Amino acid sequence: MDSALFTKIAKVLADPQRFAILQRIAKDSECPCIKIVEEFPITQATISHHLKELAGAELVEVRREGKCAHFSLRRETLDAYQAELAARLSGLSVGSGKTSE
């Protein structure tokens, strides 16, 4: 995973609302946008923004059916991010935040 995508995913996942939306999408193989709008106490415009950010970070895939959008987790991206995170953290000393070189 390249550094730009790694950083983008980290920033996208740092937002608690966005992370919660991703968790909701991950519950099912596919989640219609209307379900997300119904389940979160935020405006549809804000949800659309969050979904756009998640898609831009390649964390979700969008399938359109007429006017309805269906979202699914891109497991391969999440797996690659987790592997990259583990690799980057493996060189850190516990509690110091510094590399152990």
**Quick one: what percent of the chain has pLDDT higher than 90?**
86
Domain assignment present for 91: no
Domain assignment present for 21: yes
Please measure the distance between the N-terminal and C-terminal CA atoms of the chain and give it in whole angstroms. 23
Determine the pLDDT at residue 72.
97
Which tens digits make up the pLDDT trace of 8-26?
Answer: 999 999 999 999 999 999 9
Contact 33, 53 (CB under 8 A): no
Task: Report the CATH number at residue 10.
Answer: 1.10.10.10
Determine the pLDDT at residue 96.
47
Determine the pLDDT at residue 2.
92
Domain assignment present for 11: yes
Domain assignment present for 97: no
Domain assignment present for 96: no
Domain assignment present for 54: yes
Determine the pLDDT at residue 34.
93
Which residues are within 8 A (CB) of 24 and not within 5 positions of it... i.e. 6 or more apart?
A: 31, 35, 36, 39, 40
Determine the pLDDT at residue 82.
95
Domain assignment present for 100: no
Structural domains in the chain (count)? 1
Residues of the chain with pLDDT under 50: 96, 99-101
Chain Cα centroid distance, residue 8 = 10
Look up the domain containing 73 and give its range.
3-86
